[in-house]
Structure 1
Amino acid sequence: MRPRTVLASLAAGLAAATCLTAGPAAADTPPGHACSPRVQLDRFSDALDRTTYDGTFVGNLSALAVDRDGSLAALEDRSSLLRLDARTLRPESVVRLADETGAGLDSEGLAVDADGTRLITSETEPSVRRYSRDGRILDRLPVPAPLRTAPAGRATANQTFEGLTLLPGGRTLLASMEYALSGDTAGIVRFQTWRRTAGGHFRLAAQYAYRTDAGLGVPEVRATPDGRLLVLERGFTAGVGNTVRLYLADLRHATDTSGIENLTGQDGVRPARKTLLADIAACPSLGATARQPQPDPLLDNIEGMTVTGRDRTGRLRVLLVSDDNQNAAQTTRV
């Protein structure tokens, strides 16, 4: 998907007031940039839109992550991983990705580990693999049978692992399903976790339920420094455009659903608690234009997100990116 990136700052900590702003220090954010009482938009960039690098179309962006050297890793869902300059967004290198047979991936989720290796999901099976910086497969994580696509499991093709994040400390990895499994109530998606072993591999761990707003799926999750999750919810209606909402989710006290066959909403399961931070349609457009109907011309198919740091007031800075699906009616925007 193509990148539309929106910068935002989120107040961290378990304080009652959570505040999100996009861009530089909150004090520098111009007045009138509020998306909600908790979120401020700093700026947007279309610098990557309709560009190529080293023969690779720079679009179809599905995930972002901050690399160890401060650059941005940008994952395309068509088996390419780009390195971007964090300030200019200019592409600086590209690595091709493949599975064990050399076939391409439907690469969707990305996390950069402390040693610089890349953890990447593919929606096809689904799968989570660890890659070296130069694209060699180093490991493949186990996936619970129900989360596999039918007929091997109960997931629907193209609706599986979209989001991936390492929790603070790096011992727990979490992947988010985009939509519900067959047999689960629509709108209840599963978040799967893995725990790092003494040998550095990951083993299956707890699983949690997350309830989306009606008709929306989960394209991305990102851990905050205090262990909560930023969760993107997204949908699309032809002739109307995209719905994109940003939530803060807390897994504390949520039920481990790994042993529960069907999630019905009436089974006593406690899903993750969530708090709305902003409906991105309420953000100021800042002069953005859209190539198709949108409730806010700033909007597109926002699919990737990463926390880039804090501003001088302590708020988190968050970068969003859209997936343009290499579609003439969409835009790559950061």
Structure 2
Amino acid sequence: MRIRTLLATVTAGLAAATCLSAAGPANAQPGNACSPSVSLDRFSDALDKTTYEGTYVGNLSALAVDRDGSLAALSDRSALFGLDARTLAPESVVPLADESGAALDSEGLVIDRDGTRLITSETEPSIRRYSRDGAILDRLPVPAALQVAPAGRAVSNGTFEGLTLLPGGRTLLASMEYALSGDTSGAVRFQTWERHAKSWKPAEQYAYRPDTGLGVPEVQALPDGRLLVLERGFTSGVGNTVRLYLADPRHATDTSAVENLTGQPGVRLIGKTLLADIVSCPTLGATAKQPQPNPLLDNIEGMVVTGRSQGAWKVLLVSDDNQNAVQTTRFYYLRVRTTS
């Protein structure tokens, strides 16, 4: 998404266990460690400000592993790229559109077990199923409250950013980026759908509270049902804040019938544990085109789990450069350890 500028709103009263301070790279962990749970293997700017078959390779908002092992990278300007998983070289591009042929604000991506592409658009918001060649197959129903005002209570440019299939492939989960109007607790809604034959029906909904001033640009499921959740914000003149959390929705309250989330008792939020604040990662020689608390940072928006090695999850992140000269399309190769 074209990220909104946020003022620095993190208050001193936040507990250290919930929110790390935006310390500079001088506070980074030894070696390649970002934290005791996360390390950075390398980064790549290979696709920054490049084109493929006349299409700008940037504005990347989501990643997925395709069935042949290649990477799929979704641009929020209505394009889906196929990338070589090793070199990141583009191998294909498929244009996307809505039913009237209009462009999408395409943000979330899942490749289903039959190879179809489930893609969100923030505009309405919507989730559509596409064939490999970009033809629309159908569209999932979205609860009325999650639609952008005046149709619903969602804020413009703050809806379905993250999309993931839960273990077993029968439950789809989409994360809202920001809270609904009236949800004064600051929690965002995570909506699920259950697979019924060839269709998807809305199911349980959960509440997740990001750190003050941050939104949720991406979420990815792990095999045990827990989630990796990205939280992100931007402060003009300072730069980005990006944090990676481990979240557990398995004991959270179904909030689909809760009209307003106001911090009321009886609503159990999705529990979360900080894995790393990306500001504490080593720079590895990265440079930034605008002020950043760590030159490695940019507008990180996409995430995918690509495998497992030596007890750690291999996680790939990508930043959305917004086709802006002072931002970078950057891939980040992380190793993430999660406790059972």
**3-state DSSP of counterpart to 1:34:** coil
**Residue type at the aligned position of 1:44:** F
Partner of 1:118 in structure 2? 117
Shift of the alpha carbon at 1:168? Answer: 1.2
> Per-residue CA shift, 1:107-146, capped at 9, x if unaligned?
0000000111000000000000000000011110000000
Partner in structure 1 of residue 127 of structure 2:
128
Q: How many residues are treated as equivalent by the alignment?
A: 304
1:263 aligns with 2:261: yes
Deviations 1:265-294 (A, max 9, x none): 124210000000000000000000000010
Q: Give the distance between the partners of 1:187 and 1:316, measured in 2 at CA.
A: 30
The equivalent of 1:156 in structure 2 is 155
The answer to whether the 8 A contact 1:78-1:104 is kept is yes
- Which residue type is aligned with residue 118 of structure 1? R
Greater relative contact order (CA < 8 Å, ≥ 6 in sequence): 1
Alignment partner of 1:321 out of 318, 328, 335: 318
* Counterpart code for 2:312: R
Tell me what 1:223 maps to: 221
Deviation at 1:226, TM superposition (A): 1.0
Equivalents in 1 of 2:115, 2:295: separation in Å?
Answer: 36
Of 267, 281, 284, 2:282 maps to: 284
CA distance in 1, matches of 2:286, 2:126: 36
Counterpart residue number, 2:53: 54
Alpha-carbon distance in 2 for matches of 1:245, 1:32: 19
Aligned to 2:105: 106
For 2:323 and 2:260, how far apart are their aligned partners in 1?
A: 36
Alpha-carbon distance in structure 2 between the residues aligned to 1:266 and 1:147: 20
| Alignment-derived partner of residue 37 in structure 1 | 36
Contact 1:187 1:215 in 2 (8 A): no
The letter for the 2-side match of 1:332 is T
**Aligned equivalent of 2:195:** 196
Q: Which residue of 2 aligns with 1:308?
A: 306
For the residues of structure 2 that align with 1:91 and 1:267, how far apart are their CA atoms? 50
Equivalent residue, structure 1, for 2:70:
71
Tell me the SS of whatever aligns to 1:74: strand
SS in 2 for 1:35: coil
Work out which of the residue numbers 273, 279, 285 in structure 1 matches 2:271. Answer: 273
Q: Structure 1 residue 186: deviation in Å?
A: 5.3
Deviation per CA, 1:207-264: give whole Å up to 9, x if none. 0000010000000000011111000000000000000000000012100000000001
1:152-191 to structure 2, matched below 5 A, reads 152-185=151-184, 187-191=186-190
Once superposed, what is the RMSD of the aligned Cα atoms? 1.0
Task: Note if contact 2:81-2:93 (Cα within 8 Å) is conserved in structure 1.
Answer: yes
* Matched residue, 2:12: none
Query: Residue 26 of structure 1 aligns with which residue?
Result: none
Unaligned runs of 5+ in 1: 3-30
Contact 1:145 1:152 in 2 (8 A): yes
Gap change, CA 1:142 and 1:193, over 3 Å in 2:
same
Q: TM-score, normalised by structure 1?
A: 0.90
The share of aligned pairs that are identical, in percent, is: 80
